[in-house]
Each structure stands twice: as C-alpha cells, then as structure tokens.
Amino acid sequence: MAEERPSEQRERPEDPRIQPIALHQEMQRSYLEYAMSVIVGRALPDVRDGLKPVQRRILFAMHELGLTPDRPYRKCARVVGDVLGKYHPHGDQAVYDALVRLVQTFASRHPLLDGHGNFGSVDDDPPAAMRYTETRLAPIANEGMLDEISSDTVDFASNFDGSQQEPTVLPAQLPFLILNGCTGIAVGMATNIPPHNLGEVVDALIALIRKPDLSDEKLLELVPGPDFPTGGEVLLGSGVRETYLGGRGSIPMRGVAHIEEVQPGKGRHKRGAVVITELPYQLSKAGWIEKLAEQVNEGKIGGIADIRDESDRDGMRIVVELRRDANPETVLSDLQRRTALQSNFGAIMLALVNSQPVQLSLRRMLQQFLEYRELTILRRTRHALKRCEDRLEVVEGLTKALNVLKQVIEMITAAADAASAKASLQVHLDLSERQADAVLAMPLRRLTGLEQESLRKEADDLRVESTDLRHLLDDRSALLDTMVGEFKALKKRFATPRRTRLIEGGDALVAQRAAAVRPNAELQRQQAFAALASESRLLIQADGAVKIVTPQMLGRLHLDASSDLGDNPSPAQVILPIAQQPALLAFTASGRVGLLRWEFAGQQPGN
C-alpha cells in the first residue's frame, strides 16, 4: 500500500464559515465603515435640526422626562442615565460633556438647556460632577425644537436594542445649526460653524421665502457676520465672504479693549492701562493671561508692569497695567499682534445632508432648512387635519344620534349585547364603526340641552378648521405665509441684540498681522520707510555708502543742495529727498543690476 503524501495529509474539509479575503480589502472596508459611523453617528450635525445624535438624544430624553421650563430642575445624572440606557450606549462622561456644552452660555449663542449649578467657566474651569448639577429644557428648545414632535412631523426609528423608539431628527422651527454653530472632528473631515444672531438669520429666511433668487450681496447684508456669545469684534473682509459663499474661510476676530488710567494703590500716581472687557470666542481667559505673563517675562512684549484679572459677576475686566514710560497704543497693538487677543476662526460649514457630509454655503444651508421646515409644516397640517376629521366624524355621529334619541335608546335596550347594539346603530342610523362606538360610550350628561348645543358648535368649528387646513395643504403661498408668521413670532420671542461688533477693513488688519508673524521683503521695506522722518534726505557718498540723514546733519556737513542726475554721469555725491521714494538701481562690475533697498539704511545705528 502506497504511503500517504504530506500534501494529502494536510488536506482537511473546508469550513464553510471561513471565507478567504485579501487583507487590504478588509482593511479598506472596515476603515470605511468606521469612518462613516463616526461621520454620520457621532461627529457631524444634521443640517435640518443642527444637532449631533448625542445632543438630539439628550433633548428627546429630557422631553420624555417632562423637564419643561415650567417644571423643577432634575439632576443631570438622571438625564445621563436615561440617555445611556435608552438611546446612546456610550460613555457617561461623553454624554455629560455634550449636555454641559448645551448649557454653557459662553459656548452657545442660544443655549438649549437651562442649568442650575457649576457648568464650568470661560476660564476653562471644569463643571461639577453630574450628581451635583441640575438641568431642564430652555424655552427656546421646548418651543422651537420639541413643540411639534407629537404631531407626526418626524420619523422615528428603533434604538440600539429595539426596545424604544427615537426620532431620527427633531422638528426644529429655527435653523439651530447656524444659530448656535457646531464643532466636530470626524475621520478625514471636520466642521467648525460659527454662531449667528437669531434676528438676522430669521430676516434672511423670510427674504429667501419672499425672493428665492435673492442676490448674494443682499443676503450678506442681512447676515453680515457671526455673533459670538462672548462678544468681541469680527473684522469684515474676504474671510467672512469666502465662508458664506464657499462654505470655508478664515474669519478674523479680536477682543474688545480700551485704554484708561488706573490707580495702582493709595499714594501712588495714576498709570495708563489697557483694559480688556471681551475676549475672542473659545479663548480661555486664564490661559490667555498666563501666556501673556510668559511673554512679558521673556521680554517679547514690553511696557507692561502688572496684569490683573478683575472680572466679577458683572462682566469681564482684565487690567494690563503699563509702565510710566510705555505708550498705551503701542502696547495694545502688541497685544493684538503677538497674542490671541486677535485670532482667526477657521470656519468649515460642513453638515449632513441626506446622511452625506456636504460643505454648505450660507444660502444652501438656509435653503435646506426652509425645505425641511416646509415639510414639517405639511406633515403637521396633515396630522391636524386627520385628527380634525376624525373628531368631526365622531361629533356628527353623536349629533345624529341625539336627533333621534328615543329611537337610539330603544335600539340599545332591545339589543342582547354591546356588539348587537353597535350593529343595530350602524344599520338603522347609517353610522360608521367609530361613530357607533362613540354613541355607546356617550355619558348621560351629553343628553342635556346645553351639551347638545355645544356639540353642534364644536361641529361647526371643526368644519371651519378642516377647511383652513385643507387650504394650507392645497395653496403653497398660504403655507409660506404661515411659515413667515411663525418665524416672526419666534423672532419676537427669542431674538436678542447683537453682541459681536463688526469692524470694516478686516483684510488690511489681517495682512498686517500676517506680515508681523512672517513678513515679506516688500512689506519690511514699506515698514522701514514709514519709520523714517519725512524731511530726511537720502545721501550717497563718493565711496558708495548709502545713508539717511536729517537736514540738520546735512547742514553740519556743508554739502551742496540736491542735484538732478539728468543725462550726465552721476556725481560723486547725491542728495535726494526721501518723500518722493526715489528708485535706485545698483550695477555691479559684472553687469548685474538690482533694486537698491535704501530704506533699510535708516535702521543702521548712528544714522
């Protein structure tokens, strides 16, 4: 008998559960699935309600708990527990962090939650533990986000274990994505949307409803720039325009500061000081003061004697006390140039549209919301119409039964059971099943004359309401008028004055700061020329040296007056006024030529 070969010994029956697959294909598929899970289910907001899934689940769980603005506060631990157990099986600290951000007045322009306790500060102080803090829904969230959720305005889906139903999106009545902004880092992409003023955004929505082809210029007039909860200033320019028209841009912003005299102490002379009352959005006050102190100690910023934080419950106040020989304007300029007192907000207006990440312009973001709002109003109207017609059917059945009350009583008393009584009513009075059930369930008090009259009045009111609702469904212009009216009511209820000031000429200021950080040769030349006295003279000596001298120095040198070059060979000594910014060319012995940057001669010591 032949021996079994080794290759035959290794052969085994194939396991049908094991499928061969290339490693690179599996890595690509798994990573793509993970990336889409993070993008859709965690990091990016939906363009319709402006919420990430965890934020949506927090608000819905609080709605289910009945934590409305008129109810007492409830412990945040209770809310987090409900969110974890029912809708969001992730870490409790992650859910609490999301809840805290919805409460913080310095993080959201229109906070969706109302908090009681320590929820952190602008100094980057952490919030208290969830067992200590309490929360409930803010009025704008209760009325503008959750008010219509029971009117069949949105779709519901099963939660992670199929035991609960949760909304796929909330029926937002305002575009909270642009009102509160959003920050999120996904896989390979990120979003960073600045907050805006509610009144301005509502005006833009109404303008787009009235005139869908509204020009970009008019739209940017209605929404001129972000409105940060911490105030500050936004420098208008190409950064804001690129953000609104293309969905991505760098928006320069800076804190608000002024110069005043302060009394350092009793018996001491008053000193100048730079007082900062507002910082740029998302800048930690304590962190900024600490970094400023480091720069002062390292000698990078001069003229500062002391830094004090005098902030209290009335507002922010950071006092930068100056030395007696310091120029306050120069110190303020250095603070804006060398610290985060002036910084850029890198806007990326990325959101989910039909579960796909899309970079949105301001116009498209508002249009997407208007389409969604129109859909929710249609669904709300259909739901109201169905309820109205169902109730009208019942009232008409009751009215029909009351008109032949004796016959109804006879049929019911003659019936053997409830089922036969119901069938008898349906046959003899031509009632539907719902009407027959309502007649059988009618209490005796309905038999009084007053109750009968109220039923007839209710039927008339229901017919009028049904006609109005059908008109809304059939006439889009009437529906749009309703939408505009609701927007105006919400604006009157929740709009607040703008906090962030808008400053013209942002591009020049940004260019100045960029040049200070990484100046180019031409800008350095311009700065060197600006530092020269206008009456100075440009002196070219016989040995080829170039100097900038004052008229007084020229007088001491006993040189001749300025001489024109003309067509004659250059004289040995040339004196030119710098006010005319003469262009000088330098020639080498090998014939090379270059523009002479004579402005830097004024920076040489002794000139």
Q: Work out the angle at residue 128's Cα, subtended by the Cα atoms of residues 123 and 131, and round it to the nearest 5 degrees.
A: 165
- CA-based diameter of the chain, in Å? 136
Query: Do residues 492 and 143 touch, judged by C-beta distance below 8 A?
Result: no
**Location of structure tokens 């085994």:** 12
Look-up of token digits 């949760």: 166
- For residue 249, give both structure tokens: 């841009």
What single letter denotes the amino acid at residue 545? A
Find all residues with CB under 8 Å of 317, minimum gap 6, and list them: 275, 276, 277, 309, 310, 311
Taking the C-alpha atoms of residue 453 and residue 399, their distance in angstroms, rounded to an integer, is 9
Listing DSSP states for 352-415 in one string gives: EETTEEEE--HHHHHHHHHHHHHHHHHHHHHHHHHHHHHHHHHHHHHHHHHHTHHHHHHHHHH-
User: In sequence order, which residues have a C-beta less than 8 Å from that of residue 604 and are 6 or more positions away?
Assistant: 547
How far is residue 385 from each of residues 6, 147, 174, 390, 464, measured CA to CA in Å? 79, 18, 24, 8, 11
Is 132 a residue of the active site?
Answer: yes
Whole-angstrom distance, CA of residue 224 vs CA of residue 238: 12
Amino acid at 279: L
Quickly list DSSP for 251-274: EEEE-EEEEEEE--STTS--EEEE
Cα–Cα distance, 124 to 54 (Å, whole number): 22
Q: How many CB atoms lie within 10 A of CB 338?
A: 17
Q: Provide the 3-class DSSP secondary structure of residue 211.
A: coil
Query: Contact at 8 Å (CB) between 500 and 227?
Result: yes
The strand pairing partners of 368, in sequence order, are none
Tell me if 296 sits within 8 A of 304, measured CB to CB. yes
> Which one, of 278, 273, 263, lies nearest residue 317 by Cα?
278
- The residue from 87, 132, 244, 281 that is catalytic is 132
Cα 97 to Cα 87: distance, rounded to the nearest angstrom? 16
Residues tagged active-site: 132
